[in-house]
């Protein structure tokens, strides 16, 4: 056998006795140094046939490689461990080309066949940009800005395809334009409606019925969104990120075609790409849906009051929209195919639904629409909806001014040329599978946000993932996005905040007999004088009996659930246990304090209703 090409590197290990994290950190730095400092870096074992094939490949390409034979250094095993932390790959050969992790032998040969390897070998300087981010939503913008702060040349491509109803919007993505921000503001409008009712009980005096003006609210909200769009533009400019309002589509490796509103095409190249295109609402695929129905893409900027509304779906989007529309005084019906808030704790979900039902939202369960027909044009017009039972024969029909579809969202991954460069998507869901460093199967292409398979569709998650990705790619940092115990809140009329596992999931993971569930109903002080429902707000924690009663699930249904949940989520990061909850002193009088005095277990079956006070 001829000796493999390239120089041999050896990592001598001073003081093998040191196994502290400090030593490990030092090793990590050395490895990153090797990866950063060499055009091609191969971690190999001298006897491994796959390693030999790779070495021969680079040799045949006339490329000099830096090789570390793990079996020939003292700390080879540690190197392999740290490498597996960095790359999520334990096997050798483990190959880096121009700092991009290629993978093993097979991936390298694939990359060679597809031309990726040659592109990568050309190095960064051959490209227009260090990084192009496709999609200017929360995650994409966070990633782009962080990369720019780290001194990289960055471009963001963002283009909003108008909805079937013709709605489009500015920079910032779903959260800012058609998600969190407008929905929380409309939720706030609905809460203020409740506050107006409460206020009379607290001595504020006015006689006439207070009406709500949809146009005033929408205009105010849209103005705020406009200012946010502008803020994002400004912030990109300040950080010298190139922003192009064009539709991005891969045409070949490292090359993307950007098409603007006028149809003009420009191509850009980059060393690395981040896909952050997010999702758009799904349509039913029945007669009349795209012509006559609206979605959450349209609702928040609807120029007229939607009137009597049918909300189709039971996702959090569906329930939040139905909730605030009812709170603004509209006649609202929710059509549910199966269960409410799939993926959330079902006891909580049912309580969310029953509160809405008690407050005027109608629910049509086990029905799906089969036809939408326009009876009258107008703003709003009149639509006839025919729906069929999911449980057998039987159909209902109804007339509504507006039909809002909220049956789910589809990833924007099928029309961006991913097939041209071989990025794999889940054919069924359209989502992109990535490893734990948000890398797709094509090594220089990464993905973050709602389009990730098996990850959470939440703004703060996307922002965190984007920032950390940029720091790993360009800042020499290692910290990965932690998708565990992410808190969230559903802004239904009675807000639902949670962190950790649902009761169902906890039982699946830990087995019922290992869990203790503590719960209670509670009556917020502000609700007493207002004469609002007693025994409606609910708090629940799920503890692992055999891990010191560690809290694995936190759930609260009540006012300001988001504000309450946030701090507890931080406590869960620190390993919250039931004992610590008991030892913590409450803040009186708040809703949050209820968690410091939980006594009744679900298993005991004891009454949790609050009698008087």
The smaller minimum CB distance to another protein, of residues 51 and 315, is found at 315
Q: How far is CA 237 from CA 144, 145, 240, 241, 414, in A?
A: 12, 10, 5, 6, 30
Q: Count CB neighbours of 246 within 10 A.
A: 20
The smaller minimum CB distance to another protein, of residues 360 and 567, is found at 567
321 binds another protein (CB under 8 A): no
d(CA 436, CA 425): 16
d(CA 164, CA 293): 9
User: Residues 498, 555: contact at Cβ < 8 Å?
Assistant: yes
Q: Count CB neighbours of 481 within 10 A.
A: 21
Cβ 362 to another protein shortest distance, Å: 23
Quick note: the x/- pattern for another protein over 120-159, rule CB under 8 A, is: ------------------x---------------------
Let me know how long the chain is: 613
Is 60 in a helix, a strand, or coil?
helix
Task: Kindly give, in sequence order, each residue whose CB lies less than 8 Å from that of residue 598, ignoring residues fewer than 6 positions away.
Answer: 518, 519, 520, 539, 541, 578, 581
Give, as ranges, the residues between 210 and 229 that touch another protein (CB under 8 A): 210-218, 220-221, 224, 228
Interface segment toward another protein; rule CB under 8 A; list 128-136, 147-155, 158-166, 524-532: 524-532
Give, as ranges, the residues between 235 and 264 that touch another protein (CB under 8 A): 235
Quick note: the x/- pattern for another protein over 272-311, rule CB under 8 A, is: ----------------------------------------
Known catalytic residue at 555: no
536 binds another protein (CB under 8 A): no
Q: Count CB neighbours of 227 within 10 A.
A: 9
Give, as ranges, the residues between 547 and 576 that touch another protein (CB under 8 A): 560, 562-571, 573-576
d(CA 576, CA 69): 44
d(CA 87, CA 107): 14
Phi, psi of 26 (to 5 degrees): -65, -45
Residue among 147, 180, 174 nearest 158 (CA): 174
184 binds another protein (CB under 8 A): yes
Give, as ranges, the residues between 401 and 460 that touch another protein (CB under 8 A): 458-460
The smaller minimum CB distance to another protein, of residues 307 and 562, is found at 562
Interface segment toward another protein; rule CB under 8 A; list 248-256, 273-281, 354-362, 486-494: 486-494
Q: Is the peptide bond before 546 cis (omega within 30 degrees of 0)?
A: no
Considering only 161, 396, 529, 603, the residue that binds another protein (CB under 8 A) is: 529
Interface segment toward another protein; rule CB under 8 A; list 12-20, 195-203, 296-304, 421-429: 195-203
Considering only 71, 482, 513, 533, the residue that binds another protein (CB under 8 A) is: 482
593 binds another protein (CB under 8 A): yes
Give, as ranges, the residues between 27 and 56 that touch another protein (CB under 8 A): none
- Half-sphere exposure at residue 429, Cβ-oriented, CA atoms within 13 angstroms: 14
Q: Which residues pair with 382 in a beta bridge?
A: 376
Considering only 77, 126, 161, 196, the residue that binds another protein (CB under 8 A) is: 196
Kindly name the residue from 101, 224, 359, 588 that is annotated as catalytic.
588
Cβ 446 to another protein shortest distance, Å: 19
Interface segment toward another protein; rule CB under 8 A; list 193-201, 370-378, 442-450, 534-542: 193-201
208 binds another protein (CB under 8 A): yes
Considering only 49, 166, 392, 612, the residue that binds another protein (CB under 8 A) is: 612
The smaller minimum CB distance to another protein, of residues 285 and 589, is found at 589
Q: Which residues of 373-399 are buried (b: 16+ CB within 10 A; e: fewer)?
A: eeeeeeebebbbbbbbeeeeeeeeebe
Residue among 227, 218, 230, 187 nearest 300 (CA): 218
Locate 205 and state its tokens: 């005096």
Phi/psi zone of residue 135: left (φ > 0), alpha (ψ -120 to 50 degrees), beta?
Answer: left
Considering only 135, 487, 493, 500, the residue that binds another protein (CB under 8 A) is: 487
Determine the size of the site formed for another protein (CB under 8 A): 89
Which residue numbers are catalytic? 588
């Amino acid at each position: 056998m001829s000796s493999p090409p390239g120089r041999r590197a050896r990592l001598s290990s001073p003081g093998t006795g040191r196994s502290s994290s400090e030593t490990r950190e030092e090793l990590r730095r050395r490895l990153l140094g090797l990866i950063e400092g060499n055009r091609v870096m191969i971690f190999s074992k001298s006897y491994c046939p796959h390693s030999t094939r790779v070495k021969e490949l680079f040799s045949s390409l006339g490329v000099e490689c830096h090789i570390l034979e793990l079996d020939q250094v003292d700390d080879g095993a540690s190197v392999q461990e740290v490498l597996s932390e960095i790359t999520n790959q334990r096997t050798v050969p483990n190959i880096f080309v121009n700092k991009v992790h290629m993978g093993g032998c097979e991936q390298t040969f694939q990359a060679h066949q597809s031309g990726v390897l040659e592109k990568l070998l050309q190095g960064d300087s051959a490209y227009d940009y260090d990084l192009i981010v496709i999609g200017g939503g929360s995650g994409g913008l966070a990633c782009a800005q962080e990369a720019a702060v780290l001194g990289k040349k960055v471009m963001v491509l963002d283009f909003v395809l108008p909805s079937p109803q013709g709605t489009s919007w500015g920079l910032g993505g779903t959260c800012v334009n058609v998600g969190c921000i407008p929905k929380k503001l409309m939720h706030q409008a609905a809460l203020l409606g409740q506050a107006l009712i409460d206020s009379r009980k607290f001595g504020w005096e006015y006689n006439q019925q207070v009406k709500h003006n949809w146009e005033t609210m929408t205009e105010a909200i849209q103005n705020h969104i406009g200012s946010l769009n502008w803020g994002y533009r400004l912030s990109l400019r300040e950080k010298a990120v190139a922003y192009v309002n064009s539709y991005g589509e891969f045409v070949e490796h490292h090359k993307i075609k950007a098409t603007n509103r006028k149809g003009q095409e420009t191509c850009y190249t980059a060393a690395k790409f981040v896909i952050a295109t997010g999702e758009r609402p799904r349509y039913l695929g029945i007669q009349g849906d795209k012509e006559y129905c609206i979605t959450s893409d349209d609702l928040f900027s609807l120029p007229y009051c939607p009137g009597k509304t049918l909300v189709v779906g039971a996702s959090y989007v569906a329930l939040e929209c139905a909730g605030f529309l009812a709170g603004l005084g509209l006649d609202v019906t929710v059509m549910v195919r199966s269960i409410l808030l799939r993926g959330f704790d079902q006891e909580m979900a049912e309580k969310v639904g029953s509160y809405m039902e008690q407050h005027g939202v109608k629910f049509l369960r086990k029905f799906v629409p089969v036809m939408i027909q326009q009876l009258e044009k107008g703003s709003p017009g009149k639509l006839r909806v025919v729906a069929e039972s999911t449980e057998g024969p039987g159909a209902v029909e109804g007339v509504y001014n507006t039909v809002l579809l909220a049956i789910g969202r589809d990833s924007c991954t099928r029309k961006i040329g991913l097939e041209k460069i071989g990025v794999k998507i889940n054919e069924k869901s359209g989502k992109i599978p990535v490893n734990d460093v948000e890398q797709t199967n094509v090594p220089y292409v990464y993905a973050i946000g709602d389009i990730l398979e098996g990850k959470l569709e939440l703004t703060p998650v996307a922002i965190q993932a984007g920032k950390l990705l940029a720091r790993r790619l360009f800042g020499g940092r290692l910290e990965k996005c932690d998708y565990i115990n992410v808190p969230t809140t559903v802004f239904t009329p009675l807000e639902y905040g949670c962190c950790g596992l649902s009761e169902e999931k906890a039982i699946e993971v830990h087995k019922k007999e290992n869990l203790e569930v503590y719960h209670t109903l509670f009556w917020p002080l502000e609700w007493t004088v207002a004469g609002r429902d007693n025994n409606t707000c609910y708090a629940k924690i799920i503890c692992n009996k055999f891990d010191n009663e560690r809290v694995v699930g936190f759930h609260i249904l009540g006012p300001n659930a988001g504000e309450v949940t946030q701090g507890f989520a931080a406590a869960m990061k620190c390993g919250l246990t039931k004992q610590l909850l008991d030892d913590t002193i409450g803040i009186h009088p708040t809703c949050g304090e209820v968690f410091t005095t939980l006594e009744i277990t679900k298993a005991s079956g004891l009454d949790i209703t609050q009698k008087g006070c």
